[in-house]
Structure 1
Amino acid sequence: MQKKYCNYIVYGILRAVIFTVIMLLMFAVIMTFKNVGEKISSMIYLLTTLLSIVYGTVYSSRKINKKGWAIGIIIALLYTVIIYIISLVSGNTLTFGVDRLLRIVLAIVVGMLSGMLGVNLKE
């Protein structure tokens, strides 16, 4: 893979992480004023993760303009690893159950589909 392509993938992951931080900060502000249940919080975290992957993957695949599905899988996997590392550093435990596995599979599928979408979007 060319260095330019790797740079676009890194920029896509960086954009996805920044998008996640912004969305979670907005959710934290909402949570200070309104009591939100655990199910709603879990859904917000999942939606934020998936939207971040879509954003980063569409950006990168539009720039590279080929093999969007592969770019999407790479970005989804690397993004997921980064988020889990950040989660571990912040003090959360890494319990790996069926729900985590399903989230990872969903992230990969969404990354793959959004990569294909990004390649086919016109400027």
Structure 2
Amino acid sequence: MNSNKTSINYGVLLGKSLILSFIVTLIFFVLFTLILTYTKLSENLIPLIDSIILIISISLGAIKMSINTSKRGFLNGGVVGLVYIVILIIFSMIFMKDFQFSTYTLTKLIIGLVTGILAGMIGVNLK
């Protein structure tokens, strides 16, 4: 019974960490969209800003997860990064008719995983 409670707690922590990550993503994308709309900022910066927002969002979620689990930060952070990207891929598959798994998608998956691992290691040491 204790194992079941532990897995439920882990799932809740993972869910809260992912919600934090997606809220941060939403806030940053809204701000970036406003900046892009009302300034002469080049649209060529979109892929770079997208990656920066991705890294910040996953980092905050992975740090939150690792602080709350207090061990195996690299693993917990990696799970946050991986699940975050998988959720984005699923939404892309649902809402984009021409979505294709490409090297760009694979690169984002690797960036998400590595960012989560590194942020998880930072988070476990912040407690």
Shared fold per TM-score greater than 0.5: yes
Distance 1:87 1:36, change over 3 A: farther
Quote the residue 2:111 is aligned against.
106
Q: What's the CA shift for 1:9?
A: 1.0
* Residue type of the alignment partner of 1:91: M
Q: Output the TM-score relative to the length of structure 2.
A: 0.86
Where does residue 93 of structure 1 map in the other structure?
98
Distance 1:114 1:92, change over 3 A: farther
Higher normalized contact order (CA 8 Å, seq sep 6+, divided by chain length): 1
Aligned residues: 122
Take 1:23 and 1:87, find their aligned partners in 2: how far apart are those partners?
19
In 1, are the aligned partners of 2:36 and 2:43 still within 8 Å (CA)? no
Q: Superposition pairs for residues 1-123 of structure 1, below 5 Å?
A: 2=6, 3-91=8-96, 93-122=98-127
From the superposition, tell whether residues 90 and 27 of structure 1 become closer, same or farther in structure 2 (CA, over 3 Å).
farther
Deviations 1:38-57 (A, max 9, x none): 43100011110111000000
Q: Is the 8 A contact 2:76 2:117 kept in 1?
A: yes
Distance 1:100 1:63 in 2: 30
C-alpha RMSD of matched pairs (Å)? 1.7
AA aligned opposite 2:73: G
Pair member with larger Rg: 2
Amino acid at match of 1:53: I
Per the alignment, do residues 93 and 48 of structure 1 end up closer, same or farther by CA in structure 2, a change over 3 Å counting?
farther
Structure 1 residue 116, shift from structure 2 partner: 0.9
Checking the alignment, whether the CA contact within 8 Å between 2:21 and 2:57 is kept in structure 1 is yes
- TM-score under structure 1 length normalisation: 0.89
Which segments of structure 1 move beyond 6 Å, counting only runs of 4 or more?
Answer: none
